[in-house]
Structure 1
Amino acid sequence: MGRKRKGRDISGWLVVDKPAGMTSTAVVNKVKWAFNANKAGHAGTLDPDATGVLAVALGEATKTVPFITDALKAYRFSVRLGQATNTDDSEGEVIAQSDARPTDEQIKEALSGFLGDIMQVPPKFSAVKIDGQRAYKLARADEEFEIEARPLWVEELVMDDRPDADHVVLEMTCGKGGYVRAVARDLGEALGCYGHVEWLRRVWSGPFDADEDGVSIERINELARTPELDALLRPIEEGLIDLPEVKATDAGAVRLRNGNPGMVIAHDVEFGEECWASYNGKPLAVGILQGAELHPNRVFNLD
């Protein structure tokens, strides 16, 4: 028999406005401690120096993490032109420099080449696995290796500000798996001047917004282990916002709770579409609609 996890059975989302200098794992551990929760995870890693939305799921909400991970995300970041670093951000060692500086029009023109379906090579200082090893560990050991390009959907990439000749502030909306550092690196190469990320903020991720929903680490520490912190928890179904909702019948709810196909009432949902079922106002399961039944692949245990 498995060992029972320590902590409370508490479920929901906390949208953390992550500070610079803290790893995503450290944020999750802080939130888990503050809620005395038995289970926690996050939807999409942020680099330690990045700020902004880090959506932390507690308890049964962890079953909805993939839907937030797959959702569109928006970033605001500054690119330092004229320098390439080995980490593609300001923490790394400068490995190449150029006196060339592009005009605003040249930057805008270059940005158009990063829209739509593109192929992107992740930074060597990243968590990508190479033959079972994390790329950043190989990079720190000065080992030679290549990372294969990966597909990325970029919905929007625009210039927001040009403070001076050495810097440009960009805003990007993209899909899952995008590396902002790689965008800065590749943009610098396309402009013939090199570039790296100086600072980065994730503005929103799926339904979660940093400015409107974000809770600071200081606030989490202040309210730790109190009902006031519990009140900041957002409902599980916010992680399902991109899926259509169906409603389970009384008999269907019994079957769905046991992981079996159950009868649901569905409107404007197509056969074979992924959706989530609610019962008495609470999320019950996620699955595939087949006729009048939902065939579950995730069941929420909220009783």
Structure 2
Amino acid sequence: MSKPRKPKGRPVSGWLILDKPVDFGSTEAVSKIKWLFNAQKCGHAGTLDPLASGMLPIALGDATKTVPYVMDGRKVYEFTVTWGEERLTDDLEGEVTHTSEKRPTEEDILALLPRYTGTISQVPPQFSAIKIAGERAYDLARDGEVVEIPSREVEIHRLTLIGCPDAHTAHFEVECGKGTYVRALARDFGRDLGCFGHISGLRRTFVAPFGEDRMVPLADLVALEKIEDREERLAALDAHLIDTAEALSNLPHLAVTDDQAHRLRMGNPVIVRGRDAPLAEPEAYATARGRLVAIGEIGQGEFRPKRVFG
């Protein structure tokens, strides 16, 4: 019987909040980070298009177990819409499908924004990762198929017009929930204003719970490659990592003893005591000495682990 393969790379864990450059794909970014950190496991929370820049949270090691909690978080984007053209991809990459000589006034745009605030119905772009009959919409679109993508509800918490530098463009900022396509917002703005439009600039500045100040430019990480000593280089890279537990800061927290931590890591529940202890929570996380131990649920006086961390 053959022995199981030893995983390649280091068992390094934590979150890296990458400032992704334009013309660099999300999958490409994850591969680069995995290689730089010599990490065993790596994944990202929320794809950014190659033409978009900004925050791409990347999970290393055990932090990959917390990706769903970051995926569900609110996001903030700054984006620019260019009027007069609708494009196949709803951004600069696609061919022009509709044109118009009309240009909206600032008053026209401001009057439109309340219709796009709150819970709205949105049809994702043809070039998106939505699955249609088991296939990605962008794969079908590249094959020349026009597919019917059903609309879905998304949450727009805040939508602001930053300014109109000229008659052809407008800058916006949006705070939105999971599953919102900013490219679809630009497309729909243009249709409603009767002038057509597409995204010509897009930057993500926030993915809850990580703020803009936590972002690390890719160039800063690549620059560390020049450090010849391997251990010194990896230590310099690791200094940019954020503790895995920070991804769970929106969940109730329970501090446990070392003995309780051992029980949780073995998959066993522990008794919840203390005046300030949560009484019942569908999801919470436990730490021992500040280190993440488990994600689980609290009920009937117990914390029951669902996912454990080494």
C-alpha separation in 2, matches of 1:238 and 1:265: 24
The TM-score normalised by the length of structure 1 is 0.95
Name the amino acid aligned to 2:249.
I
**Gap regions ≥5 residues in structure 1:** none
The CA deviation string for residues 154-187 of structure 1, in whole angstroms up to 9 with x for no partner, is 1001100111111000000001111100010011
C-alpha separation in 2, matches of 1:2 and 1:13: 28
Aligned-residue offset at 1:250? 4.1
SS in structure 2 at match of 1:208: coil
**Gap regions ≥5 residues in structure 2:** 226-232
C-alpha separation in 2, matches of 1:231 and 1:45: 24
Partner of 1:180: 182
User: Are residues 250 and 216 of structure 1, via their aligned partners in 2, closer, same or farther at CA, if it must alter by over 3 Å?
Assistant: closer
C-alpha separation in 1, matches of 2:270 and 2:282: 15
Equivalent residue in structure 2 for 1:59, among 58, 61, 64? 61
Counterparts of 1:21-32 in structure 2 under 5 Å? Answer: 21-32=23-34
Equivalent residue in structure 2 for 1:163, among 145, 162, 165? 165
The TM-score normalised by the length of structure 2 is 0.93
Aligned-residue offset at 1:192? 1.1
C-alpha separation in 2, matches of 1:264 and 1:231: 34
Equivalent residue in structure 1 for 2:81, among 51, 69, 79? 79
Partner of 1:241: 249
Partner of 2:230: none
Pair 1:140 & 2:169 matched: no
User: Are residues 40 and 131 of structure 1, via their aligned partners in 2, closer, same or farther at CA, if it must alter by over 3 Å?
Assistant: same
Counterparts of 1:122-141 in structure 2 under 5 Å? Answer: 122-141=124-143
C-alpha separation in 1, matches of 2:102 and 2:161: 19
Aligned-residue offset at 1:239? 0.6
Equivalent residues of 2:129, 2:137 under 8 A apart: yes
Name the amino acid aligned to 2:40.
N
Aligned-residue offset at 1:129? 1.1
Aligned-residue offset at 1:119? 1.5
Equivalent residues of 1:90, 1:198 under 8 A apart: yes
Pair 1:284 & 2:293 matched: yes
Aligned-residue offset at 1:227? 1.2
SS in structure 2 at match of 1:273: strand
C-alpha separation in 2, matches of 1:11 and 1:175: 27
Identity %: 47
Partner of 2:229: none
Partner of 2:283: 274
C-alpha separation in 2, matches of 1:139 and 1:13: 34
Name the amino acid aligned to 1:62.
T
SS in structure 1 at match of 2:219: helix
User: Are residues 35 and 112 of structure 1, via their aligned partners in 2, closer, same or farther at CA, if it must alter by over 3 Å?
Assistant: same
Partner of 1:8: 10
Aligned-residue offset at 1:254? 2.1
C-alpha separation in 2, matches of 1:226 and 1:254: 29
C-alpha separation in 2, matches of 1:251 and 1:291: 20
Pair 1:257 & 2:262 matched: no
SS in structure 1 at match of 2:185: helix
RMSD: 1.4
Equivalent residues of 1:285, 1:296 under 8 A apart: yes
Name the amino acid aligned to 1:111.
L
SS in structure 2 at match of 1:172: strand
Name the amino acid aligned to 1:281.
G
Aligned-residue offset at 1:96? 0.4
Equivalent residues of 1:21, 1:48 under 8 A apart: yes
Aligned-residue offset at 1:2? 4.4
C-alpha separation in 1, matches of 2:277 and 2:257: 17
Name the amino acid aligned to 2:221.
I
User: Are residues 295 and 50 of structure 1, via their aligned partners in 2, closer, same or farther at CA, if it must alter by over 3 Å?
Assistant: same
C-alpha separation in 2, matches of 1:265 and 1:50: 47
Q: Which moved more, 1:96-105 or 1:244-253?
A: 244-253
Aligned-residue offset at 1:268? 5.9
User: Are residues 16 and 265 of structure 1, via their aligned partners in 2, closer, same or farther at CA, if it must alter by over 3 Å?
Assistant: farther
The CA deviation string for residues 177-211 of structure 1, in whole angstroms up to 9 with x for no partner, is 1110001001111111111100100011112233x
User: Are residues 270 and 147 of structure 1, via their aligned partners in 2, closer, same or farther at CA, if it must alter by over 3 Å?
Assistant: farther
Name the amino acid aligned to 1:297.
K
